[in-house]
Amino acid sequence: MDAELLTQITDARDRALKATTARNRIERLVDPGSFVEYGVLAGESSDPDDDAPADGLVAGVGQVHGHPVTVASYDTTVRDGTQTDRNMRKLVRLLYLANRHRWPFVVFVDGDGARPGHPWVVPPIVVYNRGRFDVYEGLAELSGWAPTIAVISGRTLDGNAGLALLCDCVIATAGSTIGSRGPAGPDGEATIHTRPVEALAADGSVDLIVDDEIHAIDTVADYLAYWGDGFGTDEPSPAHDLIADIVPDDRRHPYDVRRVIEALADAGTVLELGERWAPSMVTALATLGGRPIGMMANQPLSPVAGAIDSPAADKAARFVELCDAYELPIVSLVDNPGYMVGPDAERGGIARHHARPLAALHHRTVPLCSVQLRKAYGLGPFAMSGWGASRLMPELRLAWPSVESGGMSLEGAAFLVKRKEIRAAGSPEEARAIRDTYAKEMRDPASGVSAGRTFSFDDVILPGETRDRIIALLGAIPRVFPAAKKHPIDPR
């Protein structure tokens, strides 16, 4: 072959390889030697001397811990990481492969939206045939079929932000921003409006905030491990030895439920999602006996003492859908006073939001093991373990000896009985003392045994027995990926 032809290609490729930001990220994520790049020569123009390496987006297929993954990265050193029809078609190519083979999709999205002079990029109000599979559709189709992960590390505008917010998991580096150009003003210039990723994390639109890009990439690899086979360890955590000491002796004292999660999970395998929003509901991925699972838990340490408010209900519902889609058994840790009540909660729509986790649990098919650590009142137990009758029941419903349940809390019941005395009390402290004294009198000291006697639970066990019990039951239920996607994962 004419040597000139070969040189043309290698020269063009050398120029394309100058999108080093993007390449360095991908190199760190994928297993060495596994990356197959798509469209390395695709430039902004068809000019042989095109000076936009890879058109600002490096894309391809690689492996992470030996599992296939599609991965793409914008490169802000090339045309500010902007989107063009051509680089979007690279993404479409990857999304086709991801949907076809059930491969995860990872995208580093920082960039400035549509490239100036390249309108019609996103969203395409362009009528096309179904055969043309565009980026947002590809992401929506992949949702619930294979993980979709976005990394935000820098300013992310418009269409780039849209990519991120259609992904199941958004990992952002501290100090990054998400925003929009907004409509052009009278002078034809658009004002750029951004918000810090920390603010979006507090609203549930960003799942994880990490220190820097290296941590972000390592977190992507960790997240993918739950989709895969875990971390190759089934060792209990050292914290397991102290599991019986976590729930305080005083039934009204708070504790950090993260300690229970840490104690139950395999050592070093817990990845909390959504730490910055809905603090009364903790959601985390982990492995248990080597098996990837999802854990959701009420947080007694939160300002509302573990009550389920609208954000907590939304967070739980979304997490159940995520676990259901990825065939992750759910371990639910229950300690809540019920759904949140009061004028603020009602204004926040709790009467409608409360149904979301119940509906999500009702329609799931993954195994569910619930452990009632302490209390659950009103509709509280159902929010965490479903109603359990018509469609599915929880696979295993356990309780610890500190269990207490009922239509309303002991304090609430005590208030109703002693209402007159409490209202006549001289001070709020006195009123509370009357209520709490009566509540204490009413507390059934053998609540744990009676919960077992009435078969309200499958068993009431010692905290130290919990881990092995759940591992044993899950061992009987293999992870099976169905032939078709069950449902998308609702972004909110």
Partner 1 sequence: MDPRLIEELAAVKAAQLDEARPGVVAAVHQAGRLTARERVGELLDPGTEVEYGSIAAIDRAAPEGTRGWVAEAGGVDYIGTVDGQTVITSSTDFTDRGGGYGAGRLERLFALAQEHRWPLVLFVDGGGSRARHPRVGLGHLELNGPFGRYQLFDGVAELSGWVPTVAVVSGPSFAGHASLAGFSDFVIATGGSSIGMGGPPMVEAALGLALSASELAGVEMHEMTGGIDLLVDDEHQAIAAARRYLSYWQDEPAGPAAAGAERIAELVTDRAGADGPYDMVPVLEALVDEGSLFGLRPQFARSVITAFARIDGRSVGILASQPGVDDGAIDEQAATKAARFVELCDAYELPIVAVIDTPGCITRFTGDDGTPQSQPGINRWHTRAVMAHHHRTVPLFAVQVGRGGGLGPAVLGGMTGGRSTPVLWAAWPSTDIGSGDGFAAVRNQHAYDDVIAPAETRQRISRLLARLPRQLDRPAKKHPIDTW
Amino acid code (one letter) for 358: L
Binding track over 104-143 against partner 1, x by CB under 8 A: ---------------xx--xxxxxxxx-xxx-xx--xx-x
Cα separation of 374 and 372, whole Å? 6
164 in Cβ contact with 170 (< 8 Å): yes
In whole angstroms, the minimum distance from the beta carbon of 298 to partner 1 comes to: 16
294 in Cβ contact with 330 (< 8 Å): yes
In whole angstroms, the minimum distance from the beta carbon of 367 to partner 1 comes to: 15
Amino acid code (one letter) for 250: D
Decide whether 75 or 134 has the Cβ nearer to partner 1. Answer: 134
Decide whether 75 or 309 has the Cβ nearer to partner 1. Answer: 309
Instruction: Tell me how far the alpha carbon of residue 151 is from its chain's centroid.
Output: 14
Chosen residue from 221, 244, 355, 473 binding partner 1 by CB under 8 A: 355
Chosen residue from 86, 93, 315, 397 binding partner 1 by CB under 8 A: 397
Decide whether 19 or 95 has the Cβ nearer to partner 1. Answer: 95
Binding track over 286-315 against partner 1, x by CB under 8 A: ----------------------------x-
Chosen residue from 89, 353, 364, 467 binding partner 1 by CB under 8 A: 353
> What is the DSSP code string of 96-116?
HHHHHHT--EEEE--B-SBPT
Q: Of 136-195, which residues contact partner 1 (CB under 8 A)?
A: 136-137, 140-141, 143, 158, 161-162, 165-166, 178-184, 193-195
Buried b or exposed e, range 428-445, using 16+ CB within 10 angstroms: eeebeebbeebbeeeeee
Q: Of 463-492, which residues contact partner 1 (CB under 8 A)?
A: 487-488, 490-492
In whole angstroms, the minimum distance from the beta carbon of 293 to partner 1 comes to: 21
Residue with tokens 């229950």: 334
Decide whether 35 or 96 has the Cβ nearer to partner 1. Answer: 96
In whole angstroms, the minimum distance from the beta carbon of 322 to partner 1 comes to: 13
Q: Collapsing DSSP states into helix, strand and coil, what is residue 152? A: strand
Instruction: Tell me how far the alpha carbon of residue 182 is from its chain's centroid.
Output: 29
Binding track over 71-110 against partner 1, x by CB under 8 A: ----------------------------------------
Residue with tokens 């590390």: 153
Q: Which residue blocks in 190-287 are alpha helix, DSSP H?
A: 197-202, 213-227, 258-264
Chosen residue from 41, 393, 425, 434 binding partner 1 by CB under 8 A: 393
In whole angstroms, the minimum distance from the beta carbon of 304 to partner 1 comes to: 10
Q: Does 434 bind partner 1 (CB under 8 A)?
A: no
Strand arrangement, sheet containing 177-180 = 155-157, 177-180, 193-196
Chosen residue from 378, 400, 461, 466 binding partner 1 by CB under 8 A: 378
Cα separation of 63 and 80, whole Å? 28
Q: Of 13-32, which residues contact partner 1 (CB under 8 A)?
A: none
Q: Does 200 bind partner 1 (CB under 8 A)?
A: yes
- Residue of 292, 173, 148 lying closest to 226 (CA atoms): 292
In whole angstroms, the minimum distance from the beta carbon of 34 to partner 1 comes to: 30
Q: Does 209 bind partner 1 (CB under 8 A)?
A: no
Phi, psi of 367 (to 5 degrees): -60, 150
Chosen residue from 69, 71, 345, 373 binding partner 1 by CB under 8 A: 345
Q: Which residue blocks in 408-465 are alpha helix, DSSP H?
A: 410-417, 419-423, 428-442, 447-453
Decide whether 46 or 390 has the Cβ nearer to partner 1. Answer: 390
Phi, psi of 91 (to 5 degrees): -60, -40
Strand arrangement, sheet containing 169-173 = 36-38, 57-64, 67-74, 105-108, 148-152, 169-173, 208-210
Part in contact with partner 1 (CB under 8 A); list of ranges 10-18, 57-65, 97-105, 380-388: 380-388
In whole angstroms, the minimum distance from the beta carbon of 146 to partner 1 comes to: 15
In whole angstroms, the minimum distance from the beta carbon of 213 to partner 1 comes to: 23
Q: Applying CB under 8 A, what is the total number of residues that bind partner 1?
A: 108
Decide whether 63 or 298 has the Cβ nearer to partner 1. Answer: 298
Q: Does 337 bind partner 1 (CB under 8 A)?
A: yes
Part in contact with partner 1 (CB under 8 A); list of ranges 49-57, 323-331, 373-381, 473-481: 373-381
CA distances (Å), origin 191, targets 21, 79, 115, 182, 183: 27, 19, 16, 6, 8
In whole angstroms, the minimum distance from the beta carbon of 204 to partner 1 comes to: 6
CA distances (Å), origin 112, targets 36, 157, 186, 304, 339: 26, 5, 21, 39, 42
- Residue of 283, 269, 256, 261 lying closest to 463 (CA atoms): 261
Binding track over 407-426 against partner 1, x by CB under 8 A: xxxxxxxxxxx-x-------
